[in-house]
Chain A
Amino acid sequence: QKEVEQDPGPLSVPEGAIVSLNCTYSNSAFQYFMWYRQYSRKGPELLMYTYSSGNKEDGRFTAQVDKSSKYISLFIRDSQPSDSATYLCAMSAYNAGNMLTFGGGTRLMVKP
């Protein structure tokens, strides 16, 4: 079993839909959680960063961490075709910048 599991998709939604992307993990020591967006043939771009449990909102994006269930989510409101990309979750036990463990990524397609 992988340390971080993420459904590879593809997840196809109509424009304007609310999107929910999720990761589950097995290491209870993880306390730094990140979401990256990766367009085709580009490097990952940091979207959201949360420490420990709780919610964090930034514009159309909300990151949610439930450490008791070892489950993190990224919600995208009013999804746009430009949100079509692969979304990677990443997490670390010790340091937000070091020893990251990545999920395999979920490919999202938002159709006009």
Chain B
Amino acid sequence: DGGITQSPKYLFRKEGQNVTLSCEQNLNHDAMYWYRQDPGQGLRLIYYSQIVNDFQKGDIAEGYSVSREKKESFPLTVTSAQKNPTAFYLCASSPNNQPQHFGDGTRLSIL
């Protein structure tokens, strides 16, 4: 089945710890995105990548980092510099000039 796979579904972070969220797609989409969703709020863009080995900051990139070494993969690292990391993280991908499709998210909580 073609789709976007995010793992894990639930993740817990300790103080001072970096954690990495996985996003893999087999849709052959060029562009990939990471969003953060807080309760009752819309999606806010963290980072996006339109081609391999290139990515741009979104509206709320501070405290996050990404890499795009393969077309299929766009992992997000939540660093210890992100002081309020508890949220629902969504990965999306899209072909050129077509709407984005989303994975089922990772819920990150603080221990």
Which residues of A are interface residues toward B (Cβ below 8 A)?
Answer: 4, 6, 8, 32, 34, 36, 41-46, 49, 88, 90, 95-98, 100, 102-105
Contact = CB atoms under 8 A, between A and B. Distances in A.
A8 B97 contact: no
B96 A97 contact: yes
Nearest to B103: A43
Contacts of A42: 104-105
B102 A97 contact: no
A43 B94 contact: no
B40 interface: yes
B42 A103 contact: yes
Given A49-B99, A103-B42, A104-B40, A98 B31 contact: yes
A104 B41 CA distance: 5
Contact of B94 (A44, A88, A97): A97
Contacts, number: 59
21 contacts: A4-B42, A8-B40, A32-B99, A41-B105, A41-B107, A43-B6, A43-B90, A43-B104, A44-B43, A44-B90, A46-B101, A88-B42, A96-B98, A97-B31, A97-B94, A97-B96, A97-B99, A98-B50, A98-B94, A100-B45, A105-B40
A8 to B, nearest CB: 6
Interface of B: 4, 6, 31, 40-43, 45, 48, 50, 90, 92, 94-105, 107
A45 B97 CA distance: 17
B31 A45 contact: no
A34 B43 CA distance: 14
A88 B43 contact: yes
Nearest to A46: B99
A98 B41 CA distance: 20
